[in-house]
């Protein structure tokens, strides 16, 4: 090494050291600057977040402010208590008074506030946003949140100080990359949120459309029924010929029966219809089903049954099953104006119902078929592809509700011009020994003449009418308008049978009364009347007789006789 080189070496080393220190200082300054920038961005983000929360609170409170609903405003404000970052919130009326609010840190809420953008005061950030509806100022909302102290922010960055000194450039690069990734993630999240909001809005719109269609259909059909009954009764008052009065009476009766069927269809669709399940093998009912379908179908339509010999038993309400099968068959009939074949099949389907054994009953026709759009809406109430006046749109809705209430499922498949197939899946019965065989029921009910019946009905009109029906059957009637009155009557009078409504005031309904009577006298038969009750399923499972409203004398006789026979077998 020459002398000049030797002399220049310390100077070069010092220069490199200064460069290293300068680079280190530059890296530190850049790191501090980046940290400061991120802190400012965080404060700005917090400011935007508080502004958005204030806008949301203002939008939610607009309607309540317009109607001076203090309770609703208090609920809106209290919902923000769950946010740990919010220290205080308040809603003010147009005149400036505080209507609802809270303060977690004990600092009183301001008595009057003016609209201002987010501002920092000490370690807190506050914002006041206007509440408007259709351009009209209704009031203001006030939010105050906590800002992280400087010492906590510095301690957070001290943990990465060593890494910053050793690899500041890499940190800066990674920070920029991370910022880009965060921005991309934010944009993606915004797109996801926007899509979810759009899907939720679409779902709500579809729900409201379906509800409007349901209400409109019910109102239309019931108005028609009320018109038929009202005009029929009015004309009966004016009619003098017995034959004409009889025709008018039959018309009113038909309207009432149609209303009862309409109600049952709606309850079946909603899975609220009371079911009287029986264990049955479908193959044993072919003769009855053939008679049922022969009456409903035209002569140019033939029915072919293809029933497996080893078919498992299922548990269904036989009357609802017949109605469901009839509804499907009628649709097949209407889809084949020139005649054709309806094929009814029944097969065992092991594990087909969510792993549970099931029996599949299929009804296939050779009709016009069904398109994908109609399949999606086929089970909606009042949806129909038939001409006006040719169908109610409740047939497949009843099928859907019935199969679901029975624990099964229903599906529909078809192609335009190539026919339609409806498949019902019912779970295999766990009680094969209780199979009902056609023809095992008595042909005529046991007489109810002379029975002392305790009638429990809170509606005075129905109490009087049902009492007259029982007297028409030759029963002796003891009347009560509540469960308490019924228990009092039982303590004073010998009763052979109790006929009670399901829904009654006073804390004890019909099912509670039946349970109490079973505790006192397990042999006393009880029949429960129901138009609709959420406890109907429990009543059926517990073995109480059910009588669906509206009912006629024949149905009343059968239910009372069945209850007496069951009690006698006891």
Taking CA 485 as the corner, what is the angle to CA 479 and CA 491, rounded to the nearest 5 degrees? 95
Q: What interhelical angle do 460-472 and 553-569 show, nearest 10?
A: 70
Among 72-86, 199-213, 347-361, 523-537, the range scoring the smallest mean pLDDT is: 199-213
Tokens representing residue 17 in the block: 């050291």
Q: For residue 108, what are the CA distances in angstroms to 102, 103, 104, 117, 336?
A: 9, 7, 10, 20, 77
Is residue 458 scored above 60 in pLDDT?
yes
Q: How far apart are CA 479 and CA 489, in angstroms?
A: 8
Among 22-26, 350-354, 395-399, the range scoring the smallest mean pLDDT is: 22-26
Residue linked to tokens 């309850």: 267
508-545 confidence digits (pLDDT tens): 888 999 999 999 888 899 999 887 656 667 777 788 88
- Residue 353's nearest CA partner among 457, 464, 298, 428 is 428
Give start and end residues of each alpha helix (H) in 79-160: 150-158
44-70 confidence digits (pLDDT tens): 887 888 888 888 888 888 888 888 888
Q: How far apart are CA 550 and CA 257, in angstroms?
A: 8
Tokens representing residue 504 in the block: 């009654």
191-210 confidence digits (pLDDT tens): 888 888 876 666 565 555 55
Q: Which residues contact 306 (CB under 8 A, 6 or more apart)?
A: 343, 344, 345, 346
Q: Are 458 and 400 in contact (CB under 8 A)?
A: no
Determine which helix (DSSP H) or strand (DSSP E) holds 183, and give its type and residue range.
helix 161-238
**Averaged pLDDT, 367-381:** 76
Handedness of CA 6, 7, 8, 9 (dihedral sign): positive
Identify the pLDDT of residue 427.
Answer: 94
pLDDT averaged over every residue in the chain: 77
Identify the pLDDT of residue 472.
Answer: 86
Q: Which domains does the chain have, with CATH numbers?
A: 3-159 (3.30.450.20), 277-436 (3.30.565.10), 452-569 (3.40.50.2300)
State the pLDDT confidence band at 274, using cuts at 50, 70 and 90: low
Q: How far apart are CA 298 and CA 495, in angstroms?
A: 51
Q: Are 422 and 327 in contact (CB under 8 A)?
A: no
Residue 452 φ then ψ, to 5°: -95, 105
Tokens representing residue 148 in the block: 């992280």
């Amino acid at each position: 090494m020459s002398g000049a080189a030797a002399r220049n070496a310390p100077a070069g080393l010092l220069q490199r050291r200064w460069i290293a220190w300068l680079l280190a200082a530059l890296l530190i300054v850049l790191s501090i600057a980046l940290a400061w920038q991120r802190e400012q961005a965080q404060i700005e983000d917090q400011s935007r977040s508080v502004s958005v929360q204030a806008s949301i609170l203002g939008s939610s409170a607009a309607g309540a402010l317009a109607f001076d609903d203090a309770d609703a405003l208090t609920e809106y404000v209290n919902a923000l208590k769950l946010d740990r970052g919010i220290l205080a919130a308040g809603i003010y009326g147009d005149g400036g008074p505080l209507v609802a609010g809270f303060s977690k840190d004990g600092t009183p809420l301001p008595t009057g506030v003016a609209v201002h953008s987010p501002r920092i005061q000490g370690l807190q950030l506050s914002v006041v946003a206007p509440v408007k509806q259709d351009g009209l100022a209704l009031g203001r909302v006030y939010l105050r949140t906590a800002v992280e102290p400087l010492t906590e922010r510095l301690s957070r960055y001290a943990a990465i100080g060593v890494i910053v000194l050793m690899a500041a450039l890499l940190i800066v690069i990674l920070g920029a990359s991370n910022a880009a990734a965060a921005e991309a993630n934010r944009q993606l999240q915004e797109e996801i949120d926007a899509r979810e909001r759009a899907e939720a809005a679409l779902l709500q719109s579809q729900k409201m459309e379906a509800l409007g269609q349901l209400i409109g259909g019910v109102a239309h059909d019931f108005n028609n029924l009320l018109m038929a009954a009202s005009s029929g009764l009015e004309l009966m008052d004016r009619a003098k010929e017995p034959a004409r009065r009889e025709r008018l009476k039959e018309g009113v009766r038909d309207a009432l029966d149609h209303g009862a069927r309409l109600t049952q269809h709606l309850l079946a669709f909603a899975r609220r219809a009371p079911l009287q399940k029986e264990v049955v093998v479908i193959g044993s009912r072919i003769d009855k089903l053939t008679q049922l379908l022969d009456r409903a179908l035209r002569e140019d339509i033939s029915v072919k049954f293809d029933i497996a010999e080893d078919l498992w038993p299922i548990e269904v309400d036989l009357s609802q099953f017949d109605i469901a099968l009839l509804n499907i068959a009628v649709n097949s009939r209407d889809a084949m104006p020139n005649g054709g074949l309806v094929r009814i099949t029944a097969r065992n389907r092991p594990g087909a119902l969510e792993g549970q054994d099931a029996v599949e009953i299929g009804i296939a026709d050779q009709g016009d078929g069904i398109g994908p759009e109609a399949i999606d809406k086929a089970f909606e109430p009042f949806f129909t592809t038939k001409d006006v006046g040719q169908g109610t749109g409740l047939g497949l809705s009843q099928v859907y509700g019935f199969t679901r209430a029975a624990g099964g499922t229903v599906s529909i498949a078809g192609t335009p011009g190539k026919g339609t197939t409806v498949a019902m899946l019912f779970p295999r019965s766990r009680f094969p020994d209780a199979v009902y065989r056609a023809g095992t029921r008595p042909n005529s009910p046991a007489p109810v003449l002379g029975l002392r019946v305790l009638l429990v009905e809170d509606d005075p009109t129905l109490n009087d009418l049902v009492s007259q029906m029982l007297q028409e059957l030759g029963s002796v009637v003891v009347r009560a308008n509540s469960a308490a009155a019924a228990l009092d009557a039982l303590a004073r009078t010998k009763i052979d049978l109790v006929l009670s409504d399901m829904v009654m005031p006073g804390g004890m309904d019909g099912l509670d009364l039946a349970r109490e009577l079973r505790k006192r006298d397990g042999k006393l038969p009880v029949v429960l009347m129901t138009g609709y009750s959420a406890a109907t399923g429990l009543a059926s499972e517990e073995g109480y007789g059910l009588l669906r409203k509206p009912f006629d004398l024949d149905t009343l006789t059968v239910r009372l006789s069945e209850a007496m026979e069951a009690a006698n077998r006891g």
